[in-house]
Amino acid sequence: MSPSTVKLIGAFGSPFAHRAEVALRLKGVPYELLLEELMISKSDLLLKHNPIHKKVPVLLHGARTICESLVIIEYIDEAFDGPAIMPTDPYERAMARFWAHFMDNKCAKPFMLSVWSEGEVQKGFLKEVKENLALLQAQLEGKRFFAGESIGYLDIVLCSLAHWLTVIEEATGVKLVADDEFPDLRRWAKEYTSNEIVKQCLPDRDQLLAFYTAHLERYKMIAKAMLQQ
Ligand SMILES: N[C@@H](CCC(=O)N[C@@H](CS)C(=O)NCC(=O)O)C(=O)O
């Protein structure tokens, strides 16, 4: 199917949408980006194509609709020519998926609650964030990127640690990573965010900071709701 039929429903500042965009760019697939204004409302297009989760990103490839960023990355990798995003070795691929699920299922909540909650609750989640970061850093093992010499699946999945983390630290005034902590992760973050392809679709830092600063209360509410889950 022609890549010219690719559209991506995203939203400014969404690390999940960034995952899909980077995957398209690494493959050299031209696409049209349709930006949602999630803080205001959701478009009929988004609700039509992702009625189950009602979230971005959504990839539209001709008549096909693909939802969920992890699924989208794998779809892009398989549907289009270009450099492989997933590791080619089955065990490496399984491990990359394991850590991607770890990021989304085990790291997201502590991360949110360590910056957007308060007191003892916040302290507990901060400890958890550091434990999780140590586990992720160990996967780098002196490598340039998680899969070796070039950007691959896990680097893309962990994009929020590379670019969003320091912005959110600044917006909230909560320091998650001290300047002398996790040196390998910080070195990797620099490499990821300075990659020419990544840079083409990384949200501007100042705009991202303004976005999180403007929506602090909204994120506190989301964090509060998370605590009750
Ligand atoms: N598991 C989803 C998460 C996507 C997600 O949370 N997207 C946010 C934007 S960053 C969203 O659409 N939020 C709208 C909402 O929660 O209603 C994925 O990996 O694609």
Let me know if 109 is exposed, middle or buried by CB neighbors in 10 A (0-12, 13-18, 19+). middle
d(CA 59, CA 50): 10
* C-alpha torsion angle, residues 66, 147, 199, 108 (rounded to 10): 60
How much of the chain, in percent, has pLDDT values that exceed 90?
95
Pocket test for ligand 1, best of 55, 111, 153 (most atoms within 8 A of CB): 55
- Find the radius of gyration of the CA atoms of the chain: 17
The response to whether residue 69 sits with its C-beta less than 6 Å from ligand 1 reads yes
Cα 171 to averaged position of ligand 1 atoms, centre (Å)? 20
The reply to whether omega before 183 is within 30° of 0 (cis) is no
d(CA 43, CA 121): 36
Question: What per-residue confidence (pLDDT) applies to 229?
Answer: 82
Question: What per-residue confidence (pLDDT) applies to 142?
Answer: 84
Residue-wise pLDDT tens digits, 106-121: 999 999 999 999 999 9
Question: What per-residue confidence (pLDDT) applies to 2?
Answer: 58
Residue-wise pLDDT tens digits, 36-49: 999 999 999 999 99
Cα 141 to averaged position of ligand 1 atoms, centre (Å)? 30
Question: What per-residue confidence (pLDDT) applies to 169?
Answer: 97
Cα 8 to averaged position of ligand 1 atoms, centre (Å)? 14
